[in-house]
Structure 1
Amino acid sequence: MTPLVVRSHYSLMWGTASVPALCRRARELGYRRLALTDTDNLYGLWPFVNACRRERLEPIVGAEVTDPKGRRRAVCLVKTDAGYRNLCRLLSRRHMEEGFTLEAALPPLSRGLLVLTGNPELLRRWHAAGVSVAAAVPRRPLPPGHRLRRTAATLNISTAAVPGSFFLGPEDVPMHRMLRAIDRNTGLSRLASSDMAPADAWLDSPQGYSRRFAACPETLRATDELAETLSFTGPDFGIVLPPWKTAETVAALREAAYAGARTRYGGELSEAVVERLETELHIISKMGFSAYFLVVRDIVRQSPRICGRGSGAASLVAYCLGITNVCPLKHNLYFGRFLNPGRKDAPDIDVDFAWDERDDVLAAVFDKYRGHAAMVSNHVLFQPRMAIREVAKVYGLTDSEIGRVTRRLPMFWRAAAADTDLHREIAARPEARALEFPDPWPDILESAQRILGTPRYLSVHSGGVVITPEPIDTYVPIQRAPKGVPIIQWEKDATEEAGLVKIDLLGNRSLGVIRDALANLSTNGRAFDESRWEAGRRFFHPGGGGPGPHHGLFLYRKPRHAAASKKSGGREFRAPGHPQQHHPAGRQ
């Protein structure tokens, strides 16, 4: 039998197993195919595809879709590329539409999907609407007279055994109960049976399922027959670049780049500028990235003051388009570090805007590319501080009792569950050596360790935006972040692996300070033509950084920066890890 209803820890606060552990366990049990059907999401799609490849499993892509207004649900498994796009759109509607109902939303988006439901009424209605649907028998056989079996028999629909799983084995039940208690903000003893998955909801072996369904082996055969119709193993988009308003992107980029070059360098362009422009334009055109540069230029034009940075600063085309403000010719920056025909990765330009202008820029992007743009998400995982705090709350400890331990832990302490002994590591920290851990602290730390690395919720990436030529919800499901912006369900690594090119639009307080300082100059009658100011020109006060007392300069805010500046005697030094950039001591 092929497991068709399997949930990982991306079924937030329900599932316990990581995707790699799930696939590893499936291989050990002897499966050759495995489905991943997390609840209302495709968060784990790319980790799943990669883990299946490593374990030599054939992935089956799907999701469990729930009705927000009731207990109705359906498992949607992807048969074709069209089915994948429809699943993304269905999940997006589930998260984005106020009046979403599963019964009405699914039929128009069912092409290319196999739908499993245990609800007899939905089975009847969806079958009448032309949906490819089958009756889903849960963890144990149903009696012959059960309404679901009778309905399926009347409609001549397959009845398949789909014993859904939430964890790898019975040993994971305590972790599942802890996650449910955290999610419900209650104690373990107050959890109702409806708050938890059944205790036998683990991934069993084929032999185990055969024993469970010995009374109706035909349901196991139906499951395998349905699985054979599922040939889709994951999307293959290639590189997905933002669209431009005309098809002639190569000519448009050339025209814009030369116009910008004449603004930067004057009417007569030197041979070095022309040669470098031609080289870059040829590579950009060959790699198919012309539209990307035009879209980024369109975005940065919304602000009079931006700072393009990263390896994109090595591009003369970016400099001429106003995306960056450092001349790569003057500073001898190597374009191949940014784009190289020998590499397949997409361009990556980070653009800073004034911190209080960035949200307006994002709003303009979402308005212009409505339905085609969303921000990248972050998958926030349980780390030591969060895990200890949440588990201790389940045990009934007060905030002061919890804070006595958690405030002694580093704010950004990252730890992996497999190789971390929280009790030992906390006890070894100098600031925690005086702490005692009476009962129930040993149990709290043990439970907290189990949930390390488990996803807790989604947040918004610091600035990554994806713009797609087709509606974005045909590539990836989207949902709305608490701050109101649309986000895709993948974090940045999965986004890049999928081939979706992100543009980082970031907020920078220094640009706001510069803007306000220039406004003050104007108010005080001091003329300053910002357009004629040469970025990178040094206004370094002699000896200002050398003695090392200043901590208020940009990127010069830590004692080690002051110490390095003092040792350099105020001379120029090369920043580690950035061989192409020189910084006067005391400024970087």
Structure 2
Amino acid sequence: MYINCHTYYSLRFGTFSEVDLLQLAQENGISTLALTDINNTSACLNFIRQAKVYNIKPVVGIDFRSGAQQHFVGIAKNNAGFKELNRFLSLHSERKLKCPETAPAFNDSFVIYPFEKVLQMNKTSFSDSEYIGVSVEELRKLRFSKLNTYTDKLVVLQPVTVRSQKDFNAHRLLRAIDNNTLLSKLCPTEECKITDKMLSAEALQDAFKDFPHILENTKQLLERCSIHFNFGAERQSQNLKLYTKSFEDDCQLLERLCQQGLKKRYKNPSEMVLQRLKTELDTIKAMDFVSFFLINHDIVSYAKSQGYFHVGRGSGANSIVAYIIGITDVDPIELDLYFERFINPFRASPPDFDIDFSWKDRDDVTAYIFKRFEHTALLATYNTFKYRAVVRELGKVFGLPKEEIDKLSKGNIPESKLDTISKLVLRYGKLIEGFPNYLSVHSAGILILDQPIHCYSATDLPPKGFPTVQFDMIIAEDVGVFKFDILGQRGLAKIKDALEIIKENRPDVPAIDITNVEAFKKDKNINRLLKSGGAIGAYYVESPAMRGLMQQLQTQDYLGLVAASSIIRPGVSGSGMKEEFIKRHRHPEQRKKAHPILLKIMPETYGVMVYQEDVLKVANQFAGLTLGEADVLRRGMSGKFRSRAEFTAVEDKFLANCKAQGHDDALTLEVWNQIKSFAGYAFAKGHSASYAVESYQSMYLKCYFPLEFMTAVLNNGGGFYSVEHYLHEAKQQGATICAPCINTSDHPNRLVGTSIYLGFGYLKNLEVYTIQRLLTERQLYGPYKSLDDFIDRVTISIEQLTLLIRINAFRFTKHSKTELLWHATFKLNADKARSNQSKLFKIQHKSFTLPKLNSNWVEDAYDEMELLGFPLCDYFKLVNTPLQGGIRAKDMKLHINKEVLIYGNLVTTRYNKTAQGKLMRLSTFVDQDGTYFDAVHFTSVVDKFPINGLGVYACYGKITDRFDFYSMTIVWSKKLGIVPDPRES
């Protein structure tokens, strides 16, 4: 009997979830229920899915409103009605149109106008599908209204928004947040009524006892509604089923692509290759995944036609079909990739293909997908209210001063010291925490469906400019809607830009085949970079943790890098298996510790679980689970799973099977804990291998074209480290770093020979239009000959020109910065009324005789720190006290377990937590030679000796050795001062 129910997906309005709504209905004896969120369908599919659990018939619709003002409620008679409601809402949402007061003539939907609205509109005629909705509170008005005569058009419209006074209070707070107003000033028209609650079936019958025809009309309306989707085990893929006109044509096309690509990938394919290819093709056809492969191939083919680089990864990287037709560049035969991780007969969902493109190319690839395929949309994600943020919002709503809000949001004030308002803020903060706040776009997911998108959801049009559904990936997979992952990353852009810079800076270099990864894998110079931790700038292998791990493993080949890519993940590290793997890798005698069964299952990793598919192998071969059950285990640990009951059942069977097979309880528990601790964080082996391919491409460029590569790294936003540190690395590779120059620099950095000219984009407060004007003028009419020439040709303010002079961009004039600043001030101030029009005649500038004005390199360093954020000279040069004593980082191995002093320039620092949850700090420094060393501030010293930003630190501590990787445990540290700016003395 309820046809106007809201959940918290009525954003900043509703107060509970769709599951809470069903539970509420069950408690009140309601057997049929309509979910009608405000201008939103996010909860509809899960509401339909969960209704079966509560033995409730689900009906769905939309509450169409302008702000809080209700116009009408649309109820879908069937799936076609749901589609037309979604289409109508999407039209207004995407075009930012105001919702009309009257509904269009829907074919498969009912429309219910609120009683008060009908009176306001003076509406007197109603179509067969239109009704007048009356709430319990409005019944007393109905008795004396002319609408009382519309006996066949009256239905129950009792809104359900809150359950209690607490919910109502939370609702009012949400409305105040939405309206950005104080709670005391919230207009009552922006709120629901305290009576917008669900009554029991008996109470509802009693309320309408004088109007039995209204109950009967409502009952008949709901009986005429039916909505159905298949979920879980019953679901069928809703993705585009056919790439061509028929399944047979799809199969022939995929086979043809495999035959064309086979000789490119394998010059003389072995029987193993041919058999693997046949097995995969047969499975792909049997499981109806042919179109999925063809669509991914289409996307990649378009990218290649545009000269875009890509990386195909995810579980699909375990596929030889994907490798042969060019979706991925990982050879599953070379790596012995586990076929069943990619696909198995028990898996209902298609394999994951995460396809990375350059961040510069991704939008164009996305636009192509939307043009190429008809029923396409982006996947949504929900941005929820985070506790600190909601406390801040509630603090504003209650009118608390900023200082008090700041204290409350930190959450460390004892309750005894809180006043009444502060307690309310914290109490309702905890209630609202986790509510959906607004819809956003999934980082990668694109849907390509067989039927129109509006069969499943309404769509919005966020700033990205592509229609976006209103549900997330979890419910999407539940209903058989599987996403295509199209991602953007900077690593590929670095590779592409580096190749272009090489062409420009070294035109004599022959064309580089960056896809020749097989040669890169065998190159000793490239592998030496891995082993020594010298891969700064290279994708995925440059972080301190990764560089340290590769030095510990002495990684010097492709397979070693593939393993390292997964071992570094939190799960493997946290389970203690990272340590065990390093021991067994470095010391073969340690491999005897492996259990024989586990060693047999995972010989390549010495019986240690490293990859995601190891979970499948161990569950299947060690515990005797079917591959389907093993996949439930893997998915259950990945966080992308709904049925905890199903997962628990598989967990119980794992333990029972191990006992039945005679495994020792201690061993069973150890294996289970390993699986539990890391499965959700580990990579599939093919996924790690895909990363490793890109890493090798980056390392080839770093090894043989270091300056071009580092310039490309800088021009693409760097990576793990700061701009300053990448410039340090470029210096280590032989580059000269030059401040921006009016005649040489561009907006990005520019490499000329071995000199990197910093881009104008680094200059803080230099306006984009100023950069555009000076570059356009230079490109059209040639280099600037003097400061006077620049002033004649470029319209610029004295403030903007001052920035350029202070960074020494006019150094080609051979005049000092101080002298140039005086000239600029005289000349620009003498011509205050400057025109944007070009001057017809060259003006004659007055010349001024200035006294000799001295400046020095320290002043330059301070100007650089102010304008760029860092000095171009070495920080060690700026230290104001002599560096006495100490050792260099290269000698740490000579002082193991001894306490020594090292002076280090900070590269990066971050907090971490110990196993006990206490704070510690991990920092990376470079010494005076430019050599890296790592230091750890453990809990006992982390607060006593803080790290206060970039600069040189005296680090005193004990040298430790972890598998020939040396680091320092800090006893004390101190930041050293720098020489003062002479202009301030």
Please report the TM-score for the alignment, with normalisation by the length of structure 2: 0.52
Cα distance in 2 between the residues matched to 1:203 and 1:535: 70
2:147 corresponds to: 148
- Residue 530 of structure 1 aligns with which residue? 514
- Whole-Å separation in 1 of the counterparts to 2:134 and 2:63: 15
One-letter amino acid of the structure 1 residue matched with residue 91 of structure 2: R
For residues 109-156 of structure 1, give each alpha carbon's deviation from its aligned partner in whole angstroms, at most 9, with x where no partner exists. x223222223446965550xxx52222112321424424334x34xxx
Partner of residue 299, structure 1: 299
Offset, 1:284: 1.0
Change in CA separation of 1:172 and 1:79 when aligned onto 2, cut-off 3 Å: same
Aligned residue among 537, 549, 553 for 1:564: 549
Are 1:134 and 2:121 counterparts?
no
Partner of 2:805: none
Q: Which moved more, 1:136-145 or 1:395-404?
A: 395-404
Which of 422, 429, 434 is equivalent to 1:453?
434
SS in 1 for 2:379: strand
Residue 214 of structure 1: CA displacement? 3.9
Which residue of structure 2 aligns with residue 347 of structure 1? 351
Distance 1:79 1:337, change over 3 A: same
SS at match of 2:488: strand
CA distance in 1, matches of 2:126, 2:323: 56
Select between 518-527 and 488-497 the one with higher mean Cα deviation. 518-527
TM-score (norm 1): 0.86
> Which residue number in structure 1 is paired with residue 628 of structure 2?
none
What is residue 259 of structure 2 aligned with on the other side? Answer: 258
Alpha-carbon separation, structure 2, partners of 1:122 and 1:288: 56
Distance 1:99 1:520 in 2: 47
After superposition, the Cα gap between the structure-2 partners of 1:4 and 1:72, relative to the gap in structure 1 and judged at 3 Å, is closer
- Aligned-CA RMSD value: 3.0
Match in the other structure for 2:540: 555
Paired residues of 1:61 and 1:233 also in contact (CA < 8 A): no
Check whether the contact 1:307–1:353 (CA below 8 A) recurs between aligned residues: yes
Q: How do 1:321-336 and structure 2 match up within 5 A?
A: 321-336=325-340
State the match for 2:112 in structure 1.
116
Measured in 2, the distance between the counterparts of 1:167 and 1:548 equals 59
Aligned 8 A contact 1:170 1:202 in 2: no
Question: 5 Å matches for 1:491-506?
Answer: 491-506=472-487
Aligned pairs for 1:243-322 (under 5 A) are 243-247=242-246, 248-266=249-267, 269-303=269-303, 304-322=308-326
Closer/same/farther in 2, CA of residues 163 and 535 from structure 1, 3 Å limit = farther
Q: CA deviation at 1:448?
A: 0.6
Q: 1:316-364 deviations in whole A, cap 9, x for unaligned?
A: 1111121111111111112221122222122321100011111111112
Task: Tell me by how many angstroms 1:404 deviates.
Answer: 4.7
Task: Map 1:21-36 to 2 at 5 A.
Answer: 21-36=20-35
Quote the Cα distance in structure 1 between the aligned partners of 2:392 and 2:543.
30
Query: Residue 280 of structure 2 contacts residue 321 of structure 2 at CA under 8 Å; is this kept in 1?
Result: yes
Q: Of the two structures, which has the highest relative contact order with CA contacts closer than 8 Å and spacing of 6 or more?
A: 1
**1:159 aligned partner:** 154
Contact 2:378–2:469 under 8 Å retained in 1: yes
* 1:381 matches 2:384: yes
Name structure 2 gaps, 5 residues minimum. Answer: 567-571, 573-609, 615-684, 697-985
Q: Distance in 2 between matches of 1:495 and 1:123?
A: 40
Which whole-Å CA distance do the structure 2 matches of 1:561 and 1:249 have between them? Answer: 43
Quick one: distance in 1 between partners of 2:229 and 2:113? 23
The separation in 2 between residues aligned to 1:292 and 1:122, in whole angstroms, is: 54
Aligned residue pairs total 551
**Which one is further off, 573-582 or 496-505?**
573-582
Contact preservation (8 Å) 2:254, 2:290: yes
Tell me the equivalent position of 2:171: 176
Which amino acid in the other structure matches residue 252 of structure 1? L
Preserved CA contact (<8 Å) 2:4 2:35: yes
1:259 is paired with a residue whose SS is helix
Q: Distance in 2 between matches of 1:71 and 1:439?
A: 33
Is the contact made by 1:40 and 1:91 (CA closer than 8 Å) also made in structure 2?
yes
Match of 1:7 in 2: 6
**How far has the Cα of 1:487 moved from its partner?**
0.3
Task: Report the CA distance shift for 1:400/1:328 in structure 2 as closer, same or farther (over 3 A).
Answer: farther
Distance between the aligned counterparts of 2:201 and 2:153, measured in 1?
20
SS of the equivalent of 1:35 reads strand
Give matches, 1:95-110, under 5 Å.
95-97=93-95, 102=100, 106-107=104-105, 110=106
Q: Distance between the aligned counterparts of 2:229 and 2:344, measured in 1?
A: 28
Q: Which residue of 1 aligns with 2:58?
A: 59
Instruction: Name the structure 1 match of 2:848.
Output: none
Q: How many Å apart are 1:477 and its aligned residue?
A: 1.6
Cα pair 2:5 2:35 within 8 Å, conserved: yes
Alignment of structure 1 residues 222-237 onto 2, 5 Å: 222-234=217-229
Aligned equivalents of 1:434, 1:174: Cα separation in 2: 21
* Unpaired segments ≥5 residues, structure 1: 409-425
State the 1:197 CA deviation: 0.3
In structure 1, what is the Cα distance between the partners aligned to 2:519 and 2:18? 48
Counterpart position of 1:363: 367
After TM superposition, give the deviation of residue 551 of structure 1 in Å: 6.4
Question: Pairwise mapping of residues 406-425 of structure 1 onto structure 2 (< 5 A)?
Answer: 406=409
Residue 498 of structure 1, CA deviation: 1.7
- Equivalent residues of 1:546, 1:566 under 8 A apart: yes
2:451 is aligned with 1:467 = no
Q: CA deviation at 1:561?
A: 3.6
Cα separation, 2, equivalents of 1:352 and 1:220: 56
Q: What are the superposed Cα offsets for residues 245-274 of structure 1, whole Å, 9 maximum, x if unpaired?
A: 4321111111112212222224x5433332
Q: Percent identity?
A: 29
Q: d(CA) in 1 for partners of 2:513 and 2:542?
A: 29
Note closer, same or farther for the CA distance 1:100–1:172 as it changes in structure 2 (3 Å cut): closer
Match of residue 82 from structure 2: 84
SS in 2 for 1:501: coil
CA distance in 2, matches of 1:536, 1:187: 63
Distance (Å, rounded) in 1 between the aligned partners of 2:39 and 2:230: 18
SS at match of 2:2: coil
Mapped partners of 1:123, 1:232: distance in 2: 30
- 1:464 maps to amino acid: G
For the Cα contact (< 8 Å) 1:325–1:535, is it kept in 2?
no
Q: Larger deviation: 234-243 or 276-285? A: 234-243
- Structure with a larger share of its residues in helix: 2
Q: Equivalents in 2 of 1:346, 1:104: separation in Å?
A: 43
Deviation per CA, 1:458-492: give whole Å up to 9, x if none: 00000100012332223322111133221011111
Contact 1:123 1:134 (8 Å CA) reproduced:
no
Deviations 1:180-200 (A, max 9, x none): 010000111001110100111
Alignment of 1:183-262 (within 5 A): 183-234=178-229, 238-242=236-240, 243-247=242-246, 248-262=249-263
Q: Is the 8 A contact 1:61 1:234 kept in 2?
A: no
Residues 551, 433 of structure 1: CA spacing in aligned structure 2 closer, same or farther, 3 A cutoff?
A: farther
Q: Distance in 1 between matches of 2:452 and 2:227?
A: 21
Q: 8 Å contact 2:6–2:35 — kept in the other structure?
A: yes
TM-aligned CA distance change 1:403 to 1:214, over 3 Å: same
Q: Which amino acid aligns with 1:450?
A: L
Judging changes above 3 Å, is the alpha-carbon distance between structure 1 residues 443 and 475 closer, same or farther for their aligned structure 2 residues?
closer
